[in-house]
Amino acid sequence: MGLLMLLSEHLGEDLGEHVKSTDKSADTCIEAMDLQGPVVLVAHGKVLTATLFSLAIGGKETTKVTNPLSGVCVWFAAYYVFNLQYPEKAPALLEFIQRIFLGINPDCGTKRQKMKGKKSAVNPVVLKLAGEMSNFENDWAL
C-alpha cells in the first residue's frame, strides 16, 4: 500500500479516490460510506497496517481479502472483469499499474476517459514517469 501512496503522490493524484479506510473496531456498513468511483478498495483500519480489505463496486461490497497485495490485485482486476473505465479524477495510477507493472499495452484504446485535445493514448504523466524509470534499467552482472 505504501507504494501506491508514493505513486499517487508522484502522479499528482489523491489515493483517496481509489482507497478508503474505515475504523477497524467500528461495524461500519460499506454501503453507508461515501464511495465515489466505480471500484473502491476499503481498508479496515489504517491503510498501511490494515489486514482486511473489502472491494466495493458501485458502492456495494463484493468481496473481502486479508492482505494488501490481494486487495490491489482484485481492485485492479475488477476494472477489466467488469469492463469499467478508470475514474476521471484519478486515472494515472491505474494506467501506470496497467502499463508498467503488468505490461498491458494495447495497440489502440485505453480505459481512461477520453480527454479533449489529447493526441496520445497513453497518459503523459505515466509516459514521463516510465521514461524516468527507464534511466535505472541495467543488465546487472557480477
Asked, for residue 141, whether it belongs to a domain, the answer is: no
Question: Which pLDDT band, with edges at 50, 70 and 90, does 134 fall under?
Answer: confident
Residue 118 has pLDDT above 60, yes or no: no
State the Cα–Cα distance between residues 89 and 54, nearest whole angstrom: 21
pLDDT digits (tens, 9 = 90+) for 16-43: 889 988 875 545 566 567 666 678 888 8
Asked, for residue 32, whether it belongs to a domain, the answer is: yes
Question: Which pLDDT band, with edges at 50, 70 and 90, does 92 fall under?
Answer: very high
- Average pLDDT for the chain: 82
Asked, for residue 140, whether it belongs to a domain, the answer is: no
Checking DSSP bridges between strand 39-44 and strand 19-22, what pairing results, if any? parallel
Checking DSSP bridges between strand 53-57 and strand 60-65, what pairing results, if any? antiparallel
Asked, for residue 139, whether it belongs to a domain, the answer is: no
Structural domains counted in the chain: 1
Residue 72 has a pLDDT of: 93
Rounded mean pLDDT, 110-130: 71
Question: Which of 75, 86, 90, 79 has the alpha carbon at shortest distance from 11?
Answer: 90
Asked, for residue 14, whether it belongs to a domain, the answer is: yes
Rounded mean pLDDT, 106-128: 69
Domain containing 60: what range? 2-134
Cα 57 to chain centroid distance, Å, stands at 13
Residue 95 has a pLDDT of: 92
State the Cα–Cα distance between residues 21 and 70, nearest whole angstrom: 16
Asked, for residue 84, whether it belongs to a domain, the answer is: yes
Residue keyed to cell 497518459: 123
